[in-house]
Amino acid sequence: MKCLILFSFMRLHKNIHYIWLYLTAGIPKCCINTKSDIRPRILMNVQRWEMQESNSACDIQALVLYVKNFKKPVCAHPNVKPKLKTILKIKDLMARRRPS
């Protein structure tokens, strides 16, 4: 049985390197590299995020950020998570204070 084993994609966008590993046949997408210096403006535009665990199908632990207007997710270091939560909390508070 022939299948596509590995396709890696690298893109430079606003000083952030994305390296995202794609595998076929239902195997999950995994970050293979992480970035620890994510700018606050990018964190403000995170629409959703998830943790990639190293004990699953992927080799490293990473914080996968899905950012508005970005084609590919950002692979961040797990140490970025507290900063992300703080920024999202501030963003939520600002949205609640705006008059409807």
**Residues in contact with 56: Cβ distance below 8 Å, sequence separation at least 6, in sequence order:** 28
d(CA 57, CA 95): 37
DSSP 46: E
Fold (topology level) of 7-97:
OB fold (Dihydrolipoamide Acetyltransferase, E2P) (2.40.50)
pTM over 0.75, yes/no: no
Rounded to 5 degrees, φ, ψ at 5 are -90, -45
* Alpha carbon separation from 64 to 11, 19, 38 (Å, rounded): 16, 11, 12
All structural domains of the chain with their residue ranges? 7-97
The per-residue pLDDT string of the chain (100 residues; one tens digit each, 9 = 90 and over) reads: 233 333 333 344 444 444 444 444 566 688 999 999 999 999 999 999 999 998 868 889 999 999 999 999 999 999 999 999 999 999 889 888 877 6
